Amino acid sequence: MASHAKTEGVIHILISKDSSSLICEVVDSGDGMDTGNAELPLTGMGNRSRLFSGIGINNVHER
């Protein structure tokens, strides 16, 4: 049985410039989400118990 205990994660945002490109890399060491819930943030219907939950994912998906 999988554990659902939350652990702290770290997000690193690395930005660099190539000769003609801006490179943005996001590295996330968090627990992630269950595959059954993966589509919910994209539809805006996920759990909103935490402030700003899913806003970044929804914003990127809409663009």
Domain interval for residue 17 = 11-62
Q: Which residues contact 14 (CB under 8 A, 6 or more apart)?
A: 23, 24, 25, 26, 27
pTM recorded for the entire structure: 0.41
| Total domain count, the chain | 1
Q: DSSP label at 33? A: -
User: 């659902």: which residue's tokens?
Assistant: 4
User: Residue 47 and residue 57: Cα distance in Å, rounded?
Assistant: 13
- Decide if 39 is inside a domain: yes
- Decide if 3 is inside a domain: no
Please name which of 28, 31, 29 lies closest in space to residue 4, comparing C-alpha atoms. Answer: 31
pLDDT in tens, 6-63: 778 888 999 999 999 999 999 888 877 777 766 665 565 555 555 455 666 666 767 6
- Decide if 4 is inside a domain: no
- Decide if 57 is inside a domain: yes
Assess contact for 26 and 45: CB atoms under 8 A. Answer: no
